[in-house]
Amino acid sequence: MATRYAYSIDLDRCIGCQACTVACKTGNEVSLTDAYISITDIVRGQAPNFWGSFAHHRCFHCNDAPCVTVCPTGTLSKWNGLTIVTPEKCSACGYCTDACPFKVPHIYENHVSKCIACLELVKDGGTPWCATTCPSQAIKFGEREQVLADAHARIAQLKPRYPNVQVYGETQLGGLGLLTILLDKPSAYGLPEDPQMPLTIDVWQRVVQPASIGLTVTAIAVTGLSYIIARRQHVREKMQAHAAPSAEESKDVQSKEKQDNG
């Protein structure tokens, strides 16, 4: 069985230093005005009784990824649990930007832009830039089972301090490829509690599209077969129409001849 990779982000360890965003941009040669990762501060309450955390906005590498489902050119695809990008295939249709429940992919300079999972590095047995660079070891990368087990171990440690601490992404959308140790409920981070493959997307992709093709092919097959029958019938009717007046004409001639003879 193919390896299933995953990232994890421990928001207790994250210090919001932005090293991952910089490493990601540098390592992947992302344009200065674009980014695959963005980190924002979340602060509640007032000092000294405030609560703060950092929210990472980046691809969640959904197992059942709506972006992959709707991508009509195969630009977005799944590889060992990661959602990877083949930019030269992109037509910038923007379907992925609308389909993603996390609003992650965006169109930048006529191509889709989102985390590419440092695919070349990973294929060579390396670790993505964000995980390598993180100075507080908040970001990890590896086989999903191991990453998930480590995350659960961290949860056990953090539970006394953060009663709502949880692993986000264990089961959502078939299990995300980015597991986040949230210190509070997902809503505190602006994340949907239970993101789903939208029903409308499912109906469009799995019912409407195949049915459209199927019915078109059926129409071609039905008309193709009927054509033989219909054509034969029409030619027969045409011949009858031709024959009828000439029969009448010959009748006229016959009766005329009779009259002449009489």
Residues that bind other proteins (CB under 8 A): 66, 70, 72-75, 88-95, 97-101, 106-107, 110, 198, 200-201, 203-204, 208-209, 211-213, 215-216, 219-220, 223, 226-227, 229-234, 237-238, 241
Q: Of the two residues 65 and 151, which places its CB atom closer to other proteins in the complex?
A: 65
Distance of CA 160 to the CA centre of its chain: 38
Least separation in angstroms between CB 21 and other proteins: 22
Report the amino acid identity of residue 69.
T
Q: What are phi and psi of 222, to 5 degrees?
A: -65, -45
Question: Rounded to an integer, what distance in angstroms lies between the CA atom of residue 138 and that of residue 16?
Answer: 10
Least separation in angstroms between CB 255 and other proteins: 24
Least separation in angstroms between CB 215 and other proteins: 6
Per this entry, what is the length of the chain?
A: 262
Are the CB atoms for 84 and 68 separated by under 8 Å? no
Least separation in angstroms between CB 165 and other proteins: 30
Q: Of the two residues 146 and 233, which places its CB atom closer to other proteins in the complex?
A: 233
Beta bridge partners of residue 113, listed in sequence order: 106
DSSP conformational letter for 207 = I
Q: Of the two residues 110 and 261, which places its CB atom closer to other proteins in the complex?
A: 110
DSSP conformational letter for 74 = S
Q: Of the two residues 1 and 229, which places its CB atom closer to other proteins in the complex?
A: 229
